[in-house]
Structure 1
């Protein structure tokens, strides 16, 4: 198994992972008809635009078959200037429970820390309890921020989860 940086040539694959993940992870949270019609290409153009603005994409694969991806960048929220942000994180259904998610999020956290960020945040759907438990197991906590929106014709609430890296004393 390896984790690698994705390039523009990987955007079709990354977009497909996003769509397949949404179709399983958000079933029961977003309308079925919306999820069923999601295009595998839905995220190609937005991801390309975001990459041009500094978004990084990491893909986890085994025997060259991709099982998940995580995207991150400098915080997009000006109120959190100086923070890193995990923008999206998706695993294929068959990859769940195998430790791939833990490896992928730890890799992104390491990448962000190496870029000099001491704090990072992400948004997670309030009703996505599995993801919330996963983030909490990996050190994230809800900071109380809520973001109301709409997806697939349904009102949704995102919660901001934050993590601060421990300070190290080098003496």
Structure 2
């Protein structure tokens, strides 16, 4: 890992930058996979209070991480207990991982995923699960390179009145 890249716990002060990364990440990564009007309508200023609220209300076991490149936050990941409806399972879930579009391919996403996976393994979760857009072949390859595989589960996800199917990926961590 590049010595200029550092992974650390997110703070409340990071919420503005994380909101920007999330919005710009959606707009770049999901172009052509989601309605363009929805992507164009995403607004960083509206996202900031949502990120703050999610951060402040994060439940037990929810971990928010940021990737810094030379002191600038360039990526964000969030993981915690797997959500199976209202039930908590022993598995972990990667809820989100985004990198600033101008930092794609520089290792921040891989570093965030490695750290999230390591923390979930250390917490003795047997598996780590995540949901990815079915048509997002780049993200699917990214997760497959990190040892995740589609497990056959899928679910609809509606965005701007359009169904955008997601598939679930899993990785065995070995926790018991």
TM-score by length of 2: 0.87
1:11–1:47 contact (8 Å) kept in structure 2:
no
Task: List alignment gaps of at least 5 residues for structure 2.
Answer: none
Query: How far apart are 1:46 and its partner, in Å?
Result: 5.2
RMSD between aligned residues: 1.8
Number of matched residues? 167
Change (3 A) 1:133 1:100: same
Query: How far apart are 1:166 and its partner, in Å?
Result: 5.0
Query: How far apart are 1:103 and its partner, in Å?
Result: 1.1
Partner secondary structure for residue 150 of structure 2: strand
How many Å separate the matches in 2 of 1:132 and 1:6?
A: 25
**Mean alpha-carbon deviation: is it higher for 38-47 or for 89-98?**
38-47
Task: List alignment gaps of at least 5 residues for structure 1.
Answer: none
2:81–2:88 contact (8 Å) kept in structure 1:
no
1:63-102 equivalent positions in 2, closer than 5 A: 63-77=70-84, 81-102=89-110
Query: How far apart are 1:53 and its partner, in Å?
Result: 4.8
1:39-50 equivalent positions in 2, closer than 5 A: 39-40=43-44, 41-42=46-47, 43-45=50-52, 47-48=54-55, 50=57
Of residues 42, 57, 62, the one that matches 1:55 is: 62
How many Å separate the matches in 2 of 1:68 and 1:109?
A: 16
Partner secondary structure for residue 65 of structure 2: strand
TM-score by length of 1: 0.89
